[in-house]
Amino acid sequence: MRKTINYRLTLAEKEILKTKKVNQKLLQDYAPDEIATLLEASSQRARELNALREFQSIPSLGINFAEELINQGYYTLEQLKGRSAVELFDAFEQHCGTWADPCVEDSYRLLVHYIENRDDNKRWWHFTAERKAYRERYGFSTNRPQKPWYQSEKYPKMNNYQRD
């Protein structure tokens, strides 16, 4: 089954699609440059839309996770290639200024696994045991933020990553 991509289009972008009689679900069938032309989007917006598609193409990773990667300055899987899940997760927590729910680390582990193996059969929860074993052995960084995600005003939905 093909995953539906959430682009979080603006009202103006939705109106353009409506005028052109293009269903939003069909956007994933278009090339990035075609989406930019179709939506009359800036190159930056086209880059964001392409990143949303690329990141959400990974099974069980949703729009919030994809948007957070973009917020950290990532737009392609290629940019993340060679990075470890621990490195990415630690950078995420530093970026947020809070420690994150453990399932977020599992999602980073899935992300890295997917980049390295292009394995569509794994989901974020398949990495829970691996994360627990790693943290039992190595713990967390000494500069890990002290404040939990659920007390964050900046990221109120951090623990609600949309997943399949």
pLDDT digits (tens, 9 = 90+) for 77-118: 999 999 999 999 999 999 999 999 999 999 999 999 999 999
Domain that holds residue 110: 60-164
Q: Tokens in use for 14?
A: 């939705």
Question: What band does 158 get if pLDDT is binned at 50, 70 and 90?
Answer: very low
Same domain, residue pair 39 and 79: no
> Is the pLDDT assigned to residue 131 strictly greater than 80?
yes
Say what the pLDDT of residue 149 is: 87
Same domain, residue pair 87 and 161: yes
Same domain, residue pair 120 and 159: yes
Same domain, residue pair 44 and 82: no
Same domain, residue pair 124 and 43: no
| Total domain count, the chain | 2
Beta carbons within 8 Å of 32's beta carbon, 6+ residues apart: 46, 47, 49, 50, 53
CA atoms within 13 A on the CB side of 147: 13
Same domain, residue pair 11 and 78: no
Same domain, residue pair 120 and 150: yes
Helix residue ranges per DSSP H, 8-84: 11-19, 32-39, 43-56, 63-71, 77-80
> Is the pLDDT assigned to residue 164 strictly greater than 70?
no
Same domain, residue pair 53 and 64: no
**Three-class SS of residue 144?**
coil
pLDDT tens digits, one per residue of 18-75? 999 999 888 888 888 898 899 999 989 999 999 999 999 999 999 999 999 999 999 9
Same domain, residue pair 155 and 139: yes
Same domain, residue pair 35 and 85: no
